[in-house]
Homo-oligomer: A and B are copies of this chain.
Amino acid sequence: MINVAVTGASGRLGFVLSKALSGAEDLHVSSTIDLHGQAPLSAPHFQELTTEALVGVDVLLDVTVAASARKNAAFALEQGCHVVIGTSGLDASDRLSLGDLATRVGRECLIVPNFALGALLLERFAAQAAKYFESVEVIELHHPDKRDAPSGTATNTLQILAEARAEAGLMEPPDATEVESLAGSRGGVGPGGIHVHSVRLRGLVAHEEILFGSPGEQLSLRHDSFDRSSFIAGAFLAVRNVGKRTGLHVGLGDFLDS
């Protein structure tokens, strides 16, 4: 039985995941934590992440935002918990310091930028396809209340594509644009000169498309998250597997096929 605490449990994603985890036979949600909102379960609910909230907890699942996640993760690691962070907003220095801490205390800190298995497969396929195409661009589409662009998942995809192309000795994708009559039309330019486009549209949830092009052909890989139920399977995978290693790890890729 794995004892889990959830920070951000009263938010929309936190609510869905808390409910789902609490229904599993091999898991026990022993506390929920959220500054705002109500307790989503009958489990003890705290407004702050305190020592008390982590008594007996094996895994902290944090689904807040980057600013809180950073602090919550550090606190929980020091209390001896393994940590799963379900936000994509942490930067390289966060990763470094959390990784150092996790290694020192002999715990695992697992950052999962996207819990959807389809998103995970999308990145896996992106890595495999990258070297076979002259061109590649990324389009991500979200609801218009999203605050950052491009999305954390798309930023990660760009990195994966750039690395695979570099390894195969590919140069930057061809682009003869001389005049950009509306600045930004060609999108953001990520590592390896790969362009990314962020669409914000009412009615959408979270979507990403990778377009590969070569003479006469196109390969398109697209993932759509229509609602938060798409994150449940990945959250289970993370909570059940975190702690098998120590230090910082990113993504669920190592748990597929296992």
Q: Is the CB of A203 within 8 A of B217?
A: yes
A181 CB to nearest B CB, Å: 6
Please encode chain A, from 162 to 192, with 1 for each CB lying within 8 Å of some chain B CB and 0 for all others.
0000000000011111111111111111100
Given the known A-B contacts A139-B139, A227-B216, are A177 and B117 also in contact in the complex, defined by CB atoms under 8 Å?
no
Given the known A-B contacts A174-B144, A177-B149, are A211 and B199 also in contact in the complex, defined by CB atoms under 8 Å?
yes
Chain B residues closer than 8 Å to A139, beta-carbon distance = 139, 197, 199
**Interfacial residues, chain A to chain B (CB-CB below 8 A):** 116-119, 121-122, 124-125, 128-129, 132-137, 139, 141, 144-150, 155, 173-190, 195-205, 211-233, 256
A188 to B195, CA, bound (A): 13
Chosen A-B contacts, 7 in total, with CB atoms closer than 8 Å, are A139-B199, A180-B198, A195-B199, A195-B200, A203-B218, A203-B226, A216-B230
Given the known A-B contacts A188-B184, A189-B182, are A117 and B137 also in contact in the complex, defined by CB atoms under 8 Å?
no
Chain B residues closer than 8 Å to A119, beta-carbon distance = 217
Identical chains in the assembly: 4
Given the known A-B contacts A188-B185, A222-B220, are A201 and B213 also in contact in the complex, defined by CB atoms under 8 Å?
yes
A61 CB to nearest B CB, Å: 18
Q: Is the CB of A224 within 8 A of B214?
A: no
Q: Is the CB of B226 within 8 A of A216?
A: yes
Q: Is the CB of A188 within 8 A of B179?
A: no
A77 to B202, CA, bound (A): 38
**CB-based nearest B residue for A233:** B214
Extra 10 A-B pairs, beta carbons < 8 Å, given A177-B198, A185-B196: A137-B199, A149-B179, A173-B201, A182-B196, A183-B184, A185-B187, A201-B211, A205-B226, A218-B224, A218-B226
